[in-house]
């Protein structure tokens, strides 16, 4: 089951299933991680996500370790995707959006999402030419954004 365009209640039910499969308890802290990802369409570092949660839900006492563990669990369950920035670590986003690719600025780290039907068709054609069944892919273009070029 794909989670693109999934409503929050359905997403939450899927998250509860993932926790159950992994013999983990459903907690408010874990739910807040999922809810924050759902309500913000950014690419979060675990630290940035933690600070946002701490600012909004300070009384809930969510630890940074909980954020890391929950992100890893969500990534294993293919509910979030990540972009790796080498020594700067990963940035995560919820996988509810339609498929898209990324342009990443090497200077400031800005991430620009884009969709291109021609690129998608070409990738499928290349896979078919090689007898390869394409199940998923990730395209990341690295360079310098227009702000940093100035």
Q: What is the pLDDT of residue 4?
A: 52
Shared domain check, 90 and 40: yes
Instruction: Count up the domains in the chain and report the number.
Output: 2
pLDDT average, residue stretch 65-76: 95
Contact between residue 29 and residue 65 where contact means Cβ atoms under 8 Å apart: no
CATH number, residue 135: 3.30.1490.190
pLDDT digits (tens, 9 = 90+) for 82-114: 888 767 788 898 887 778 888 999 898 888 889
Is 75 within 8 Å of 3 (Cβ atoms)? no
Assign residue 36 the CATH number of its domain: 1.10.10.10
pLDDT in tens, 10-32: 999 999 999 999 999 999 999 99
Q: What's this model's pTM, rounded to 2 decimal places?
A: 0.76
Token pair belonging to 95: 């996988």
């Amino acid at each position: 089951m794909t989670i693109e365009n999934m409503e929050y209640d359905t997403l939450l039910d899927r998250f509860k299933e993932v926790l159950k499969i992994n013999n983990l308890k459903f907690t408010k802290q874990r739910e807040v991680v999922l809810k924050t990802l759902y309500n913000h369409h950014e690419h979060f570092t675990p630290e940035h996500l933690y600070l946002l949660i701490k600012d909004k839900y300070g009384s809930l006492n969510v630890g940074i370790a909980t954020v890391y563990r929950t992100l890893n669990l969500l990534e294993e369950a293919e509910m979030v995707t990540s972009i790796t920035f080498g020594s700067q670590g990963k940035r995560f986003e919820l996988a509810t959006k339609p498929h898209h690719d990324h342009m990443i600025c090497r200077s400031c780290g800005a991430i620009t999402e884009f969709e291109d039907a021609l690129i998608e068709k070409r990738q499928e054609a290349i896979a078919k030419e090689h007898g390869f069944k394409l199940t998923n892919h990730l395209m990341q273009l690295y360079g310098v954004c227009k702000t940093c070029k100035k």
